[in-house]
Amino acid sequence: KGPGLKDELTVRVTLLDYNKGPDAQSFDEEDRLPFAMRRKAEANRLFKESRYCLARERYARITDLFHHLDRPKVKDRFLGRPELFQSCRKLRLECRLNIAACSVKLQDPSSAIQACDAVLRQSPENTKAFYRRAQAHMQQKDYVQACHDLQRLVDIDPDIQEARRLLQKAEKLRGQTDRKQKEVVKYDKMVNRILDDRSDKWDYLDAPMDDPEAEGLPVRAFA
């Protein structure tokens, strides 16, 4: 009989050989771009299968292939090939947006915000970056920043209904948070007044003079 469902089974595997794959960093841009596009297609497949962590890793590796695009003299490598330069930048931007999408799915808002910030430095009115950064702010319960990003998005493109719905939700949550914070501040102030010795109005003037047991400062203390 084979092992039961509750039995532990140990399998030992020996790796005999493996293919390390091509060194994409050594590729010329003309070869690097089609290679990266094939890797992006694989990452997209992983994303559709909800394998967000692995997909994000693939997207990150693609962006690493184009880390040099922001260097001052990088255009010298693309002389006579402006279309190739723009295609590389576009692919990197798309991968950064997808990194943000994966990070939101993985409940990793910090990484999502970092990716969106990089996109907005390249494309200041990118609506997807504003939307995904707003989603990340929502996960952090930073409703003020979420509202700011969503309002900016709606100003750029008023027809994005998803952004309008999320903006309404963010504004509602911001209002609830503001009310709670005001209640906490009000309560803290009340407690501090109670505990503050300077707020104690019971002194020797309030003590009946014919009551020797009354609390308060003795008159002779002020003589």
Q: Report residue 177's pLDDT band, with 50, 70 and 90 as the boundaries.
A: confident
Predicted local distance difference test score (pLDDT) of residue 216: 47
CB 92 within 8 Å of CB 64:
no
Predicted local distance difference test score (pLDDT) of residue 24: 67
Taking the whole predicted model, whether its pTM rises above 0.75 is answered as no
Q: What is the pLDDT of residues 192-213, one digit of tens each?
A: 666 665 555 545 455 455 555 5
